A and B are shown apart, each in its own frame.
Chain A
């Protein structure tokens, strides 16, 4: 009865009706298997359907069709058992009671999860210690920083020591210091040390690349590719990427006539514009690219790199992780 795969998803669909004729195919036929102890990532832009999929697996939503088994339990027939075996981290800092302190929050959730009374005190001490929150044990949650709230959310998810974790955008909106902590914690403590099976969603390619043993690219409710990060990156037909860092407004269309440029991805970060071109011959197209951009704006630097996950994502889906819809 209990299969080895920790999570099995088979042909899941979820369509939201908006008004009479308008509908959103949030999850559009998705299947995958996650093995025990795996750290599996769903990488996709905003609106790809990641959260909807997590909600289906965690019994918050009923899918239109398809089968899901979690720790061997069927989400339709045994939702309570499914919930007992998972910890779900979603909703960020709002998922706690701000008027209560960390201990009161954790006590409440321990009761909901039926953690034996005699273990509750020790468990809470352990979790606060683990997350470095012992000193804040009596402070109202509203007084904690975003990063500490997220740490407390993680403690909350672990209160019943579930074998499976569903982690939805764990570092969204966190400053780099806490984001670093959370990533290390998820990978080293939760996955490697405690051996938990983890399904993580993110739209940060670095996060997926660094943490996940396997990644599924998700876009418009579908999985476009699924493999280890290394193999995904190797799968690109073009082996190199030419990156030009500049400033100002640049339209994708101006590159339409550059030969040998397979995919072009324009992203914005820290006030700069990065134009990335997948190519086999960076030297060949370099001069025409520079010429085109210089007509429009100022170039700060040019470099040639290996493809990142984002380049592969753009190549496969035509959508960008950051700006895509």
Chain B
């Protein structure tokens, strides 16, 4: 009998499992067609309250004040870029957070847990799936909104923007896996997702610049990957003026990414162990 798999082999095995998880989720989702379509329409609907607020307050689409503060006068362009990022928050807080509870709901959780891959692999598979899924939704949104409102994006900024988004995503995955870990231990697991996503939406500069936040929240937002993602993308794609330099943004984002990922993974492993001691994932 062979003892164990070599480490290269193991990496490929896990990657394959992650991808299998991704494909499985697409297939399952596509069997619920109305719900699938809903997910593409809803984001447009939820964008409107943001824009209507903006119009009501500014008496139009452009604001000199916003331009003074950020360098961007177009409220619609400014808001819509920030708004897009809510899709990624959904990935972390909801898709990743619920990945295990969803399997439990299918009835397959214990079946997949006896397969020879670590349990974070399933959460990672869900992260991949949801990132693709949300990415697709965001792409459609971006095309429709920019066309409809005649927003001109600086396409030259696309690649640096994407690099920043990638870093941000890794950081968000750290948050997502914490939520996934907590769902194992908590009976009312959805509370964590609710609380966290609300908190992030509030302190992340989606529809307003950071400068308008109270100082405490502004400090808090410095620890969230989304803050830098949004600032960076608006900078690269719309020309927002930054309060901090670009290298600083990249550096800070890289650091919080490592911190969140490490912290997230540790939390997950501890919670997984706790769950296997308590039997908290069985239905009793």
Partners in one complex: yes
A→B interface (CB under 8 Å): 2, 16-17, 52, 55, 58-62, 71-72, 78, 80-81, 83-84, 86, 88, 90-91, 94-100, 104, 107-109, 111-114, 140, 156
State how many angstroms separate the Cβ of B143 from the closest Cβ of chain A: 30
Q: B111 to A90, Cβ gap below 8 A?
A: yes
The reply to whether B16 and A114 form a contact with Cβ atoms under 8 Å apart is yes
* Chain A residues with CB below 8 A from B16, complex form: 111, 114
CB-CB contacts below 8 Å: B97-125 with A? 106-108, 110-118
A107 to B16 alpha-carbon distance, docked (Å): 11
The reply on B273 being an interface residue by CB < 8 A is yes
Query: C-beta contact mask, B118-138 vs A, less than 8 Å → 1, else 0?
Result: 100000000000000000000
CB distance from B86 to the nearest CB of A (A): 27
Assess whether B4 is interfacial by the CB under 8 Å rule: yes
CB pair B117–A112 under 8 Å, yes or no, is yes
Say yes or no: is B187 at the interface (Cβ < 8 Å to chain A). Answer: no
The reply to whether B13 and A114 contact each other, CB–CB distance below 8 Å, is: yes
Contact of B115 among A72, A94, A112 (CB under 8 A): A112
Q: List 28 A-B contacts (CB under 8 A).
A: A17-B278, A52-B279, A55-B279, A59-B114, A60-B276, A72-B1, A80-B116, A81-B3, A83-B115, A83-B116, A86-B114, A91-B108, A91-B111, A94-B106, A95-B108, A95-B111, A97-B108, A99-B28, A100-B27, A104-B27, A107-B20, A111-B19, A111-B20, A112-B115, A113-B115, A113-B116, A114-B9, A114-B16
- Is residue B31 contacting chain A, with contact meaning CB distance below 8 A? yes
A203 to chain B, nearest CB (A): 18
Nearest 7 pairs of A and B residues by beta carbon: A94-B107, A111-B20, A112-B115, A84-B116, A95-B111, A114-B13, A83-B116
How far is B112's CA from A96's CA once the two chains are assembled, in angstroms? 10
Nearest-CB residue, chain A, relative to B18: A111
Are B279 and A95 in contact, with the CB atoms below 8 A? no
Which B residues contact A (CB, under 8 angstroms)? 1, 3-5, 9, 13, 16-17, 19-21, 23-24, 27-28, 31, 106-108, 110-118, 273, 276-279, 282, 284
Which residues on the B side are within 8 Å of A91 (C-beta)? Answer: 107-108, 110-111
User: Chain B contacts of A104 at CB under 8 A?
Assistant: 24, 27
Q: Which residues of A contact B118 (CB under 8 A)?
A: 80
Pairwise interchain contact B27-A90, C-beta atoms closer than 8 A:
no
The answer to whether residues A80 and B20 also contact, given A60-B276, A99-B27, A114-B13 and a CB cut-off of 8 A, is no
Cα distance, A112 to B282, chains bound together (Å)? 21
The answer to whether B114 and A71 have CB atoms under 8 Å apart is no
How would you classify the secondary structure of chain B's contact residues: helix, strand, loop or mixed?
A: helix
Q: Is the CB of A112 within 8 A of B17?
A: yes
A78–B116 Cα gap in the complex (Å)? 10
**Within the complex, what minimum Cβ distance (angstroms) separates B146 from chain A?**
35
User: Contact between B279 and A61 (Cβ–Cβ < 8 Å)?
Assistant: yes
Check B115 against A97 for contact (C-beta < 8 Å): no
Q: How far is the CA of A109 from the CA of B31 in the complex (A)?
A: 20
Using known A-B contacts A99-B28, A108-B24, A111-B16, determine if residue A88 contacts B111 with beta carbons closer than 8 Å: yes
Q: How far is the CB of A243 from chain B (nearest CB, A)?
A: 37
**Could you say which of B5, B113, B278, B279 has the most chain A C-beta atoms within 10 Å of its C-beta?**
B279
| CB-based nearest A residue for B122 | A112
**Contact A95 B116, beta carbon cutoff 8 Å:** no
Residue of B20, B118, B273 contacting most chain A CB atoms (<10 Å): B20
Closest chain A CB from B2 CB (angstroms): 9
Known pairs A2-B1, A71-B1, A112-B17; A62 contacts B117 (CB<8 A): no
Closest to B5 in A: A114
Contact A112 B113 (CB under 8 A): no
Chain A residues with CB below 8 A from B3, complex form = 81
A88 to B279, CA, bound (A): 17
Q: How far is the CB of B272 from chain A (nearest CB, A)?
A: 10
The smallest beta-carbon distance between B252 and chain A, in angstroms, is 36
Interface centre among A61, A72, A78 (most CB of B within 10 A): A61
A153 CB, min distance to chain B CBs, angstroms? 8
Residues of B near A60 (CB, < 8 A) are 110, 113-114, 276
- In the bound complex, residues from chain B placing their C-beta under 8 Å from that of A61 are 276-277, 279
Select from chain A the residue with minimum beta-carbon distance to B281: A60
Can you name the residue of chain B whose Cβ is closest to the Cβ of A79?
B116
Chain B residues contacting A2 (CB-CB under 8 Å) are: 1
**Supplied contacts A59-B276, A114-B16, A114-B17, 17 more A-B pairs, CB within 8 Å:** A17-B278, A55-B282, A60-B110, A60-B114, A61-B277, A62-B277, A71-B1, A83-B115, A94-B106, A97-B24, A99-B28, A100-B28, A104-B24, A104-B27, A108-B24, A111-B17, A111-B19
How far is the CB of B60 from the nearest CB of chain A, in Å? Answer: 48
With A and B bound together, what is the CA distance between A80 and B4 in angstroms? 8
How far in angstroms is the closest Cβ of chain A from B35?
12
Closest to B113 in A: A60
The answer on a CB contact under 8 Å between B115 and A109 is yes
| Beta-carbon contact of B28 and A112 below 8 Å | no
Question: A266 → chain B, closest Cβ, in Å?
Answer: 29
Q: Bound state CA distance, A59 and B110, in angstroms?
A: 10
In the bound complex, how far is the Cα of B273 from the Cα of A108, in angstroms? 25
C-alpha gap A94/B13 in the complex (Å):
26
Q: Which residues of B contact A108 (CB under 8 A)?
A: 20-21, 23-24
Chain A residues whose CB sits within 8 angstroms of the CB of B107 once the complex forms = 91, 94-95
Give min CB distance, A264 to chain B, whole Å: 33
CB distance from B191 to the nearest CB of A (A): 21
